[in-house]
Each structure stands twice: as structure tokens, then as C-alpha cells.
Amino acid sequence: MKRSSTLLPKVLPLCLGMLVSVPGLAQDSKLLARANTMADKLEPKVIEWRRDFHQYPELGNRETKTAEKIAAHLRKLGIEVETGVAHTGVVGVLKGGKPGPVVALRADIDGLPVTERTDVPFASRERSTYNGQEVGVMHACGHDTHIAMLMGAAEILAGMQKDLKGTVKFIFQPAEEGSPIGEEGGAALMVKEGVLDKGPKPEVIFGLHINSQTEVGTIKYTPGGTMASADIFRIKVKGKQSHGAYPWSGIDPIVTSAQIINGLQTIISRQTQLPEGAAIITVGSIHGGVRNNIIPEEVLMEGTIRALDVEMQKKLHEKIKLTATKIAESSGAVAEVEIIPQTPVTYNDPALTERMLPTLHTVAGRDKVVLAKAVTGAEDFAFYQEKIPGLFLFVGGMSKGKKPEEVAPHHTPDFLIDESGLKLGVKTLTSLTLNYMEGKSKK
């Protein structure tokens, strides 16, 4: 799929008129009304599911009990189920009673190695092992809500199966937050194992993420690059060990590393066209030496690279290698640079985004659908979008009247979600599916 090299396409038309005026998009108002009514009635059950998943979270590639609960629910609805995809993933297929496109819906299902500090009655007290360390486990990024919302959408869509104009593929994906060291996982492995190729092949995919700092009832979207790529870099600086009192007799990799760190920051501040999109190079760890008066032989630093544009991502990789190796060379040291690609740019197909925007206006209200700036967090939903057009949205999970700075951000022990925001997520997933199918059937 070809992508524009710019962060955002030209501003999408926000005044699109009536839904039927958008090419390829139409509404079956009776079916949508029915789906929304079902979502209202289903809300207590969705909240109950969410609390259960929250109380018993599991880490990436270890979500066995979570997967069992999901699979049991889908089977109960009469949906075809495949388990064990990408270790613990669950894929459900619902074939509608009428011909039409295949639409994929995705939710991530893993928790994080975070010890919960909230006082909700369903707080997690789970413990596990992560990369050899004992840790608390918590749904500190809202994946518990994502599971519950997609389970709700599955129940609604299964309840109108004979009226569906196409097929729905439900993808419950493990390890979005990353796999244990030495293991594959997440969306990359789901794609590798053929989730988009085997069985009915989806032509589009929709996903959403709840946000603790966005007010309940709000949907945020960004066409084009919406979340950053995330790559790891490792730089090993090799010098010559010597006594700290006689630095001229060696080559100091610590001083050289300091110069490299400063040089990496000038890639962003002086060599990157930031108006084209945000870019970040962060050194997160640096290790070298064992004693105060010994200049060590080598230093290892590691960090993350973020970009919102594919071409910019490539340039950052090249410049990191050039900067590190040449600065090291100027000091008589050697720098070995390794860049490990992790997650591509999460890229919302502009045409699909424009096409589905009226659906968002209908489900949330035009004033509650916000054109947002891209963020430098990463999402492995991007791997699906590399294969087929996709749309990834944010739904509000912050209580009304609160301010973003007053609530705990994601990946923290105090992370909380206002459960009244879940219903909008369910309605969004079902409405996107129904409207996309209806639009295709009208062509």
C-alpha cells in the first residue's frame, strides 16, 4: 500500500453533508438504530466483562485464560473461532446472511508489568514473571476495555447476522505491548501467521484505543500518520582501557559516548525538517565501567527512535549510524550501531478516514469528533495497515469535568478509565462495520 510521505494530507473536508452524499457510503438507519439500542442494553454486561479482565490481567504471549473467555463468548454467539493464533490470539469469523465485503475489527488483550495502585474493588492483585523479574500485572493501558468493547460489538453483530451484508473478522490480538525477550508476538506475528490472508480476507480493518485523558463521549481521529514508528537502537562504543589517572594512554569510550549523545540530539534539532512531523531520538540507558579510576574498554547505550513519516524514519536511521561512527572515529574509538525495527508508522488511510467520518459524526455527534494531532506513542496496529487500509481511533475514557493533567496517564499504577465511555466504543465498532458494508453494497 503506497503511503504519502507527508504527515497529514491536505485538510479533510469536515462539512461532508448528509451521509448519502459521500461516495460509497450509505446508511441503513433501521439497522443502525437497532444496533444502538442493543448497545444501550448491553452496556452493563460490557462493563462486567471489562472488570473481570481488569481483575485478572495476563502479560503478552501468556494470555491463556483471557483467550479462553473470549473464545467461549464467541462460540456462544455461533461465531466460527480459531484459537492459538500468534500464541494466544483468538480470531472469530461471522458470515452475514447477505453478500458483501469482509471487515476486520481488532482489540489487543495483554496487560503490562505494572503493580496497580487504584482502590477500585476489581483492582488487579496478579503477579507474574517478566523477563526474569517478578512483577505485578495490570491493564494499565485499557486493553481490558478494548476486549470488552469488541466482545460487545460481536454480540450485537451476531444478533443481526441474517441482515449483515458481508463478513466480520474479529481479531483479539496478544502482546501489543511487546513480547518477552526472545519471542515473536503481537500484530507482526498475527500477520505472519496469515490472519489477513487465511479464510475470508478483510479489505479494511478498524481499531480503537481508549484514552484516559480524553473526555468520555469524544472520538479523536488523525488522517495519515497518527502514531509514530518505534525502533530500537544500540550503539557499542569501543575504546582502549587505561588508568583513570593517565587518560592519554587509552581511548575513553565514556567521553566519546557523551559526544555521540549530544550529536544524536542535533540530528533532531538541526538536521530534521520538523514541520513535516515530529521526530524523537532518546537514549534510555547507558552502561560502561566498573570502578571510579578505570577508563573502561567499551560502553553500551540503547534508545528509541520515533517518527511519523516513513521517509523521515529511514533518514533518522541513516543519520544515527553516520553520526555515531564518525564521532567515534574522530576520537580514535569505534562505534558499532545496530537498529532494530519494531513498529511501523500507524497510518490511517486518508480515503478510508474521509469515507467513515460521517459515521463518526452520527455515532458521537459532530461536535464530539475531534481532528487531533498525531502522537509519538506507537501501536502495532500499524502492521495490519501495511497490508490493507485501516482506521485507528481514540475514544474518551476520562470522566466529564476532569482535566487531562488531573488524571493518571497510561502505563502508570494509578491509571483509571471511566466505564461510561465503553458504550461509545461498542457503537463505533458496530456503526463502522455496518456503514462500510452498506456503502459497498450500494456501489
Q: What percent of the chain has pLDDT over 70?
A: 94
Which one has a higher pLDDT value, 164 or 21?
A: 164
- Comparing CA positions, the residue from 229, 49, 60 lying closest to residue 146 is 49
**Are residues 311 and 268 in contact, defined by beta-carbon separation less than 8 angstroms?**
no
- In the predicted model, what is the mean pLDDT of residues 275-291? 95
Q: What are phi and psi of 181, to 5 degrees?
A: -55, 130
The pLDDT, as a whole number, for residue 425 is 98
**For the whole model, what pTM was predicted?**
0.91
Known binding residue 143? Answer is yes
Q: What is the pLDDT of residue 441?
A: 77
Other C-beta atoms closer than 10 Å to the C-beta of 279 total: 23
Quick check: 49 pLDDT over 80? Answer: yes
- Cβ atoms of 368 and 427 within 8 Å: the answer is no
Strand partners, 170: 92, 105
**What is the domain class of 229-342 according to CATH?**
alpha beta
Predicted pLDDT at 3: 52
User: Which residues are CB-contacts of 382 (< 8 A; sequence separation ≥ 6)?
Assistant: 187, 227, 229, 343, 344, 345, 346, 347
Give the model confidence (pLDDT) of 346-399 as tens digits. 999 999 999 999 999 999 999 999 999 999 999 999 999 999 999 999 999 999
- Please give the torsion angle defined by the CA atoms of residues 276, 280, 281 and 285, in that order, rounded to the nearest 10 degrees: -170
Phi, psi of 375 (to 5 degrees): -120, 160
C-beta separation of 336 from 238 below 8 A: yes
3-state secondary structure of 60: coil
Find the largest Cα–Cα distance for the chain.
Answer: 83
Q: Is 146 annotated as a binding residue?
A: no
Fold (topology level) of 29-228+345-440: Aminopeptidase (3.40.630)
pLDDT at position 374 is 96
For 75-84, the CB contacts below 8 A with 24+ separation are: 77/154, 77/155, 77/158, 78/158, 78/161, 79/154, 79/158, 79/170, 82/199
Only one residue has cell 574522530, namely 330
Confidence check: pLDDT of 21 > 60: no
Contact (Cβ atoms closer than 8 angstroms) between residue 12 and residue 354: yes
Tell me the mean pLDDT in the region 122-147.
Answer: 97
Q: Report which DSSP code applies to 19.
A: G
141 annotated as a binding-site residue: yes
287 belongs to an annotated ligand binding site: no
Nearest to 88 by CA among 204, 184, 157: 184
Report whether pLDDT(1) > 80: no
Query: What's the chain's average pLDDT?
Result: 94
Domain 29-228+345-440 matches domain 229-342 at the CATH topology level: no
pLDDT by residue (tens digit) across 220-229? 999 999 999 9
Q: Among residues 116, 184, 110, 177, which one has the least CA distance to residue 146? A: 110
Instruction: Summarize pLDDT for 182-205 with one digit per residue, the tens.
Output: 999 999 999 999 999 999 999 999
The ranges assigned to domains in the chain are: 29-228+345-440, 229-342
Is the pLDDT at 207 greater than 80? The verdict is yes
- pLDDT of 48 higher than 50: yes
Catalytic site positions: 110, 176
| 410 in a known ligand binding site | no
Q: How confident is the model at residue 318 (pLDDT cuts 50, 70, 90)?
A: very high
What letter would DSSP give residue 419?
G
What is the predicted pLDDT for the residue at 27? 65
Question: Within 10 A of 395 (CB to CB), how many other CB atoms are there?
Answer: 28
Q: What are phi and psi of 96, to 5 degrees?
A: -70, 165
DSSP characters over 107-171 = EE---BS-------TT----EEEETTEEEE-B-TTSHHHHHHHHHHHHHHHHTTGGG-EEEEEEE
As a whole number of angstroms, the distance between CA 389 and CA 377 comes to: 20
